[in-house]
Amino acid sequence: MEQTGLKFGPLAPESVHVCVDMQTLFSAGYPWALPWFERILPGVEELSGRCPERTIFTRFIPARRPGEGRGAWARYYQRWAAVTLEETGAEAIDLTPALRRFAPPARVVDKHVYSPWLEGGLDVLLRDSGGDTLIISGGETDICVMATVIGAIDRGYRVVLVADGVCSFSDETHDAMLRMFARRFSEQLEVCLIADVLAAWRR
């Protein structure tokens, strides 16, 4: 597991934990179930509980019915008809129960695409938070986590990615992404463990 540690120093109390798409939709029994979802959940739960008032959960909201969506998204939801709200039921988009209890005070940002930055809600919450560091957990490492990380880097945030708090459908691409993050964004991103964050992040 590629790590760099917290090489840029302690975490300020104003740091914000952004937990990406830890929803029922990605847990066991659903078409998009992530194999390591349940394994990383206890650590993500502990991280969310450290400072729930400074935690933001994102939720991926699929199309309501097959074939809906703009442009290529319509084809996407024709292929993935089984994950549309019409098929899964609205409860699938809920945060997994272990995390749901933190919101509120944690805030929730809904998005209809991979990136949480395009619909405006996350930018507003972070602007009001006063923090310049984002601690990122959740799934998938190579899709929605990646989109979250790149958007945060583009906006100039210090980005701390917790290697044991993210997961993907594919171990191969998960490992490749952690290597890429650590090596290609060495001045803008740190890859560490949840234990490192818990030890360094105090209210």
Q: Confirm whether 74 is domain-assigned.
A: no
Order of all β-strands in the sheet with 133-139:
107-111, 55-60, 16-20, 133-139, 158-167, 189-192
Q: How far apart are CA 147 and CA 78, in angstroms?
A: 23
Residue 82 is assigned to a structural domain of this protein: no
Q: For the domain that residue 168 is a member of, what is the CATH number?
A: 3.40.50.850
In a domain, 5, yes or no: no
What confidence score (pLDDT) does residue 1 get?
Answer: 60
Q: Is residue 67 part of a domain?
A: no
At 52-77, the pLDDT tens digits run 999 999 999 999 999 898 999 999 99
Domains of the chain: total: 1
Which is nearest to 66 in space by CA: 76, 56, 78? 78
DSSP 58-98: EEE---SSTT-SSTHHHHHHHHTGGGSHHHH-GGGGSBPHH
- Could you give the 3-state DSSP secondary structure of residue 19? strand
Instruction: Give yes or no for residue 39 having a pLDDT over 90.
Output: yes
Reported pTM? 0.94
The residue segments making up the domain with residue 129 are 16-61+91-200
Amino acid identity, residue 33? Answer: A
**What's the confidence (pLDDT) of residue 27?**
94
Cα–Cα dist 171/67, whole Å: 30
97-156: per-residue pLDDT in tens?
A: 999 999 999 999 999 999 999 998 899 999 888 889 999 999 999 999 999 999 999 999
Is residue 96 included in any domain, yes or no? Answer: yes
- Which comes out higher in pLDDT, residue 1 or 200? 200
Does residue 71 sit within a domain? no
pLDDT digits (tens, 9 = 90+) for 156-179: 999 999 999 999 988 889 989 999
Instruction: List, in sequence order, every residue forming a beta bridge with 17; answer none if it has no partner.
Output: 55, 135
